[in-house]
Amino acid sequence: MQEADLSQLLRETMLVLLKLGGPVLAVGLVVGVAMSLVQAVTQIHEQTLAFIPKMAAIVATLMLAGPFMLATLRDYTTNLFDRLIAVGGG
């Protein structure tokens, strides 16, 4: 495997990482900021008040984006194994 192949593989790995983790982290961030704002305005500082909506939003995001995430990971893994076979066979 050449350096160009490795750098392309690393770039592809980072893109898959962003595709898989990005939506979940973004939703968690938005809900967390919104709940912090609500807590600051109402002056109710209960930890479960921020945790439960954030957890529910992340679970909903995983359920909605799950098929996309699975397809992305499946395609990446298939591509990676094809490359490994090509390197091992050549």
Distance between CA atoms of residues 65 and 59, nearest Å: 10
Q: Give the model's pLDDT for residue 73.
A: 95
Consecutive sets of 10 residues in the chain, 90 residues long: mean pLDDT of each? 83 94 95 92 84 94 95 95 80
Summarised one tens digit per residue, pLDDT across range 1-15 is 677 888 898 999 999
- Cβ contact 19:72 at 8 Å: yes
Report pLDDT for 89. 62
Q: What is the pLDDT of residue 5?
A: 80
Contact 28, 57 (CB under 8 A): yes
d(CA 37, CA 45): 11
Give the pLDDT score at 44: 84
Q: How many CA atoms lie within 13 A of 25 on its CB side?
A: 6
**Tokens representing residue 29 in the block:** 């961030």
Cα–Cα distance, 41 to 32 (Å, whole number): 14
